[in-house]
Amino acid sequence: MSSAITSSEKIFYPGLMVQQAAYRYPGTRVRLDRPFDLAPELGTAHTYNDLAFLVESTAASLWAHGVRPGDVVAVYKSQNADIMLLACAIARVGAVPAMLAPALDGGTISELLEQLRPGYLITDAARLVDSDLDRVVGRLVPEILLVGRPIGGYRLLRDRYGPPPPFPDTEPGETAIITHTSGTTGLPKMVAQSRRGMQAHINVQRRIARMLRVREPYALCISFVHARTYSALAMGLERGLPFAFLTDHSLGNVRWMFDDFRPGLVETHPNTYILWEELAEEPDGPLSQVKFYIGTFDAIHPRTVKTLLRASRRRRAMYFQAYGQSETGPVTVRPYSRWIASRSQGRCVGHQIPGLTRVRIGWKSDGRIGPIEVRSRGQARTYVGQEKRFSANFTEDGWWDMTDVGHRGRFGCIHLLDREVDRAELLESVLKVEDTVISRLPELTEVVIVPLDGFLQPVVCTRHDRPLDLPAWRAAVADQPPMAKPLQARWVDLPSTATWKVKRLELRRMLLEEGYGIERMALA
């Protein structure tokens, strides 16, 4: 084993992290809500040993197909936890996994592949056909490898076997994995992450996990292509935590999985937590054993934090809010106990992380509110194919612009108010108004206030798409800025990212576009 790989015990190396965990905790259980597409015959009950075997055997197949160190291998397949194993197997060969969200349409994928120019694409029949990618993929990628059933003349990934590949030399500062941004403001940007940068993300979790002595079974229901997934996986493997990986966030599936697995540590997207508020209302329900909730990806409504914490029967249950980006990793962390959640407002996202980040409020127009700017040890390397755009996001003195607006609180915490592009005139924070309204109307599962030409247009979703109680709405917004009559829509009709963030600019375009917007989105 080379010296570069030996150092991977301290520097993130996805190609070996599963195998190293299996060496220490071979029998630790792993539960799935659907079998891996890579090996459906193995079912849904696994151990760390099983995962290590799948990573090694898949790496051997990749090597037999000609994948070599330094190659870029794109992964675009149907949602399943084996996406993580594919990333690890690609890294095991010494190649660079480029992770593409299954929810992206074929046109977006084509544009991203143009930027990546990978040597290989791992996909499946469903993604190829449903996205119409099969018509253009041949000119974008030299080699296509399929997982699952065959289609056309494409080769199956696991139709070749051979000896394990040699351990490659990988420098800590070189690109270890490519993920992408959520794409809330347009085409997602391909973010190149180094081993050293990703290790900085992991160190934050490691520090917190050691302090809290975390040994809880860990349920993950998040995007398997996101950078956050790999730092979460690395931390859990390092501590030998039992895992449950969920591909389906529906209430029935979560209830079934959690009743058996009984997680003490749970992580999902903020808008999924809103959906799970219904589970929190069940006495001794699926969330009753949860001690720690983790929330990244986006700010969460205070109502949801309070609801989740009330659902737990564990003493000192906590919700951890992390604010950051794919480009920076976690920037601030804010723990919420039941007591803190009952007395705080959701725009506070916490303090900078000692030893990892520094945060400042940049140039200010009113002496208080301004752009949030960051220095981070977890900084990504670049945007693949858009290197100038990445460099342009730094200020002249080297701070990264988060493209968010906020202010610093009395005790030094950072308050996130809005994305810069979502600001509304004469309104300090659109998000703060949304927090207030949704806290007053329990039947709401989402409210998005869209600044249009001269007025504010609320778009609301309700639990089970029940009709909105308009008198209750009017009472809830009576002391808020004037708004138009709310438009009620189904959640599935709102434009959203792979991590369930609402694409506010796209929603605004839909509302302004003649013959589309309100008429097409409104519920009957």
346 and 464, same domain (yes or no)? no
DSSP string of 444-463, one letter each residue: EEEEEEEE-SSSEEEEEEEG
| CATH number for position 334 | 3.40.50.12780
Q: Out of 364, 396, 422, pick the residue that ends a domain.
A: 422
- pLDDT above 70 for 502: yes
Model pLDDT, residue 131: 78
Model pLDDT, residue 56: 96
How high is the mean pLDDT of the chain? Answer: 89
Model pLDDT, residue 303: 93
170 and 78, same domain (yes or no)? yes
125 and 71, same domain (yes or no)? yes
pLDDT tens figures, 213-244: 999 999 999 999 999 999 999 999 999 999 99
182 and 288, same domain (yes or no)? no
pLDDT tens figures, 372-430: 999 999 999 999 999 999 999 999 899 999 999 999 988 888 999 988 888 887 788 88
256 and 343, same domain (yes or no)? yes
393 and 437, same domain (yes or no)? no
What interhelical angle do 302-311 and 430-440 show, nearest 10?
A: 40
Q: Out of 161, 188, 215, pick the residue that ends a domain.
A: 188
Residue 75 domain flag = yes
- pLDDT above 50 for 1: no
Determine if residue 506 is left, alpha or beta; phi over 0 gives left, psi from -120 to 50 gives alpha, anything else beta: alpha
Structural domains counted in the chain: 3
Residue 214 domain flag = no
pLDDT tens figures, 11-38: 889 999 999 999 999 999 999 999 999 9
Q: In what order do the strands lie in the sheet with 190-194?
A: 155-156, 143-146, 120-123, 72-76, 96-99, 175-180, 190-194, 382-383
pLDDT tens figures, 78-107: 999 999 999 999 999 999 999 999 988 888
- Confidence class of residue 2 from pLDDT cuts 50, 70 and 90? very low
397 and 498, same domain (yes or no)? no
Residue 38 domain flag = no
pLDDT tens figures, 322-333: 999 999 999 999
Model pLDDT, residue 7: 39
258 and 294, same domain (yes or no)? yes
- Apex CA 27: angle with CA 23 and CA 32, to 5°? 115
pLDDT tens figures, 29-75: 999 999 999 999 999 999 999 999 999 999 999 999 999 999 999 99
pLDDT tens figures, 463-483: 999 999 999 999 999 999 999
In Å, the largest CA–CA distance within the chain is 69
| CATH number for position 107 | 3.40.50.980
Full domain range(s) for residue 124: 49-188
User: Which run of H or E residues covers position 25?
Assistant: none
164 and 285, same domain (yes or no)? no
pLDDT tens figures, 342-370: 887 768 888 999 989 999 998 765 668 89
pLDDT tens figures, 271-311: 899 999 999 988 888 999 999 999 987 778 899 999 999 99
Residue type, 294: I
Residue 368 domain flag = yes
State if pTM tops 0.85. yes
Residue 160 domain flag = yes
182 vs 102, more confident? 102
Q: In what order do the strands lie in the sheet with 444-451?
A: 444-451, 456-462, 487-488
376 and 342, same domain (yes or no)? yes
- Confidence class of residue 521 from pLDDT cuts 50, 70 and 90? very low
Model pLDDT, residue 5: 41
Residue 294 domain flag = yes
- pLDDT above 80 for 438: yes
Mean pLDDT throughout 259-274?
Answer: 93
147 and 54, same domain (yes or no)? yes
Model pLDDT, residue 8: 38
Residue 200 domain flag = no
pLDDT tens figures, 240-255: 999 999 999 999 999 9
| CATH number for position 464 | 3.30.300.30
| 56 touches 19 (CB < 8 A) | yes
- pLDDT above 90 for 132: no
Residue 304 domain flag = yes
317 and 279, same domain (yes or no)? yes
Q: Out of 380, 401, 422, pick the residue that ends a domain.
A: 422
Mean pLDDT throughout 152-164?
Answer: 86
